[in-house]
Structure 1
Amino acid sequence: MSVAKVIEFSSSSTKGVEDAVQSGLKKVAETVKNIQGAWVSETKVITDSSGHIKEWRVNLRITFVVE
């Protein structure tokens, strides 16, 4: 029998959503083993006063199998 756990965290990037997700997963993988998948549960942008995007932020839920 396997047991899975879900953790939630936030990540950001000035390049885009995909980069925010990739860099977040890479950072989590430094300490969490057996990652099985991730859900982007929320996407947010930070803008300047003229409406140009300065930063992308994502909230992720990561599932991993507990050893």
Structure 2
Amino acid sequence: MDAHIYKKIELTGTSPNSVEEAVQNAITKAGESVREMKWFELSELRGDISDNKVAHWQATIKVGFRLDG
């Protein structure tokens, strides 16, 4: 069985609509330059409040990807 080595990076995605969209925005953008992404974990969740409503979501995630080799 081959051993694989993974690395984790931290990203923060944003969205005015939802947490899920904030996470997806971060993963989509990272996918433009990072290959072999395998998992993510939510590490922080924040939001802006305007007029007593959630105006914007910020989701900080750690993304694991396999190193070439």
Same fold (TM over 0.5): yes
- Per-residue displacement from partner, 1:7-55 (whole Å, max 9, x unpaired)? 001110001000001111000010000000001111111011x321110
Of the three residues 24, 27, 31, the one matched with 2:26 is 24
Count of residues in Structure 1 that have an aligned counterpart in Structure 2: 66
Q: How many Å separate the matches in 1 of 2:36 and 2:47? A: 30
Q: Cα RMSD (Å) of the superposition? A: 0.7
Alignment of 1:35 with 2:37, yes or no, is: yes
Aligned residue for 2:24, secondary structure, equals helix
Letter in 2 for 1:66: L
Structure 1, unaligned stretches of length 5 or more?
none
> Counterparts of 1:46-61 in structure 2 under 5 Å?
46-48=48-50, 50-61=51-62
Q: How many Å separate the matches in 2 of 1:17 and 1:60? A: 11
- List, as ranges, runs of 4+ consecutive aligned residues in structure 1 with deviation greater than 6 Å: none
Structure 2, unaligned stretches of length 5 or more?
none
Letter in 1 for 2:60: N
